[in-house]
Amino acid sequence: MTKSVVLASASPRRTALLKQMNIAHTIQPADIDESPRLNETPLSLVSRLAAEKGLAVKAKLASKQTLTDDTVILASDTLIAFNGQSVGKPENKADAKRILTMLSGNTHEVLTAISVLNNTRQQTQVITTSVTFAALTNEQITAYWETGEPADKAGSYAIQGIGGEFVVSINGSASAVIGLPLYETRQLLNEFGVVS
């Protein structure tokens, strides 16, 4: 029986990666509160958010009576961890400049959680990738903000875009930094009966 894959995300990057994997899917964005809890570690936060996004979409599909035994939901969340602290999307230009200045010349971790669930079970996994940035000047950071690219990205940069020019090295999954680790996503979807 063919599984019906639902992506619990409005991210065009995640959709593109799923298409690259030849996995047909529909899109149902999750609307949850992404605020961190008190003393929540980056690992706990990213894992919880991916799992909660999946559950929110499952509840939405159930309320519309479109959730079936063949429905498989894929949710994901990505955040940056620097010195043990979570770094999300920038609030504004000043925040983006603060984040990029902090990452400049340093190594940070990109944590991407994937959560797959169906009617009966849910499994969540976190993939960690180390990314090292070159030293950035104030002028480079300002010019980059003006492109509009950093505004909605975790850590204020897109590795697959202009922000990739700042990356000296990457250790781990490049696709996870973009938003969906290809290998792990396929393995997890296969466990839920999704084959492409």
pLDDT of residue 71: 97
DSSP 67-94: --TTEEEEEEEEEEEETTEEE---SSHH
pLDDT of residue 50: 98
pLDDT of residue 146: 96
pLDDT of residue 119: 93
3-state secondary structure at position 153: coil
For residues 147 and 117, what is the distance between their CA atoms, to the nearest angstrom?
37
- pTM > 0.85: yes
Residues contacting residue 13 through CB under 8 Å, at least 6 positions apart: 160, 178, 179, 180
Return the active site residues. Answer: 77
Domains of the chain by start residue, with CATH: 4-191 (3.90.950.10)
pLDDT of residue 196: 67
Strands 4-7 and 71-82: parallel
pLDDT of residue 2: 79
For residues 3 and 166, what is the distance between their CA atoms, to the nearest angstrom?
40
Residue spans of the chain under pLDDT 50: none
pLDDT digits (tens, 9 = 90+) for 136-146: 999 999 999 99
Is the Cβ–Cβ distance between 158 and 164 less than 8 Å? Answer: yes
